[in-house]
Amino acid sequence: MNEAIRELLAKVGGLPVAVEQISDEEDLYNAGLSSFASVQLMLGIEDRFDIEFSDQFLNRKSFASIKAIERTVEAILKNNEDA
Amino acid sequence: MDAQISFLDRLFSAGLLLDTGVDGLYGRSGRFEDVIAAFERLIDRTGGGDGAEAIRFPPGMNRAIFEKSGYMKSFPQLAGTIHSFCGCELDHVNLIQCMDAGKDWTKEQEATDIVLTPAACYPLYPVIAQRGDLPADGGLFDLQSYCFRHEPSKDPARQQMFRMREYVRMGKADDVMEFRQLWIERGTDIMQRVGLPVHIDVANDPFFGRAGRMLVNNQRDQNLKFELLIPITSTENPTACMSFNYHQDHFGTKWGIQFADGTTVHTACVGFGLERIALALFHHHGLDIEAWPEQVRQELWG
């Protein structure tokens, strides 16, 4: 999952630095992720993992770092399993 | 909804607004304009000493600039474009035949280089960027324009063509935040002086679609937008008559507005919805301006 997220981040994140240089915990907004890029990232993740972000996950915190994105995707997948 | 229609009908009956047959598109009477002019003078008296550079753009803007602004990413549902007939004589004959037959004649219209201005400050940023580096103390601009938003409604406080007066501050993050806070206080004071009940609340722009939900949540989480709300046709859903927006470095980055040391400027704006403020005054003080409380008349007309 980490690799897929990094791949999407490289494609739509529009970051001024290479994704390889960003650690899992690093703040993506500080690294240059814009609001619009985070929306594109959200849409890309939905498509890649075949999930849908519910309203509770549509916020900055969900995309604050690669680790945060992983946690969000895992939470959504778990919600889907439980449902 | 009933309260909105009722207030609109009363405004028509009193001759303050004139019905054009399109919801949200109204003529204004001289008395209505007197109120707007008086309120703008009150704004001038409040902010006039700050040394803002006054600039007035027409209510249409350069389409290429509009496209680059990203407006269509966020608010495609609100935008208005200007199209014109660009055909030859034969096309003209077809056009007239089409119109005579009551068919849709608009399909052959072509987009011009102009779109309707969605917010008074949109044309400003590229103009300032063209001037080169911003001085260290930044810039302050005074704008007013008719704006267009495609949202037909029977609520007289939600018009499709309306005037927005704005001050825009460009500078360092702290400076523009201070400007925004100053105008939240000034705006509250002005409204209280003209007898209007207000409260300030965190707000969001009407971003389009599911992706827009995320932008809404981001905007609210970061307290980027506040509105000054006044009840007009509803006490449960009061109307935003002013907004106070911190854009961070969004417009600075978009248009390359920088200081001499190469850092990107931050921007903030305060907007007055002039028609909404006039409507709030008519709602709270009555449709007869002569009968408004003396203190309110004194503030507005001296």
Instruction: Look up the CATH number of the domain holding residue B140.
Output: 3.30.930.10
Report the b/e string of A30-62 with b at 16+ CB within 10 A: ebebbbbbbbbbbbbbeeebebebeeebbbbeb
Low-confidence ranges of chain A (pLDDT < 70): none
- pLDDT, tens digit (0-9, with 9 covering 90-100), for B102-149: 999 998 899 999 999 999 999 999 999 999 999 999 999 999 999 999
- pLDDT, tens digit (0-9, with 9 covering 90-100), for B177-230: 999 999 999 999 999 999 999 999 999 998 888 888 888 988 988 899 999 999
Co-location of B48 and B105 in the same domain: no
Co-location of B14 and B126 in the same domain: yes
Angstrom distance (rounded) from CA A8 to CA B60: 38
∠A57-A60-A64 over CA atoms, to 5°? 105
Percent of chain B with pLDDT over 70: 100
What is the domain count for chain B?
2
What is the domain class of A2-82 according to CATH? mainly alpha
Nearest residue, CB atoms, A55 vs list B70, B213, B218: B213
- Pick the last residue of a domain from B93, B114, B135: B114
When pLDDT is averaged across residues B88-104 and rounded to a whole number, the result is: 95
- pLDDT, tens digit (0-9, with 9 covering 90-100), for B273-298: 999 999 999 999 999 999 999 999 99
- Pick the last residue of a domain from B71, B98, B114: B114
Nearest residue, CB atoms, A58 vs list B70, B214, B250: B214
Closest-CA residue in chain B for A62? B214
Co-location of B190 and B248 in the same domain: yes
Nearest residue, CB atoms, B217 vs list A36, A43, A59: A59
Interchain CB contact of B214 with A (< 8 Å): yes
pLDDT band for position B1 (cuts 50, 70, 90) = low
Co-location of B108 and B174 in the same domain: no
Angstrom distance (rounded) from CA B112 to CA B89: 19
Report chain B residues whose CB lies below 8 A from the CB of A30. none
Question: Which runs of E-coded beta strand occur in B56-160?
Answer: 60-62, 81-84, 110-116, 139-148
Report chain B residues whose CB lies below 8 A from the CB of A36. 70, 73
Domain encompassing residue B96: 81-114
The alpha-carbon gap from A59 to the nearest alpha carbon of chain B, in Å, equals 5
- Supply the pLDDT for residue B42: 98
- Supply the pLDDT for residue A60: 87
The alpha-carbon gap from A35 to the nearest alpha carbon of chain B, in Å, equals 7
Domain locations along chain A: 2-82
- Supply the pLDDT for residue B172: 97
When pLDDT is averaged across residues B51-67 and rounded to a whole number, the result is: 98
The alpha-carbon gap from B7 to the nearest alpha carbon of chain A, in Å, equals 36
Three-class secondary structure of residue B13 per DSSP: helix
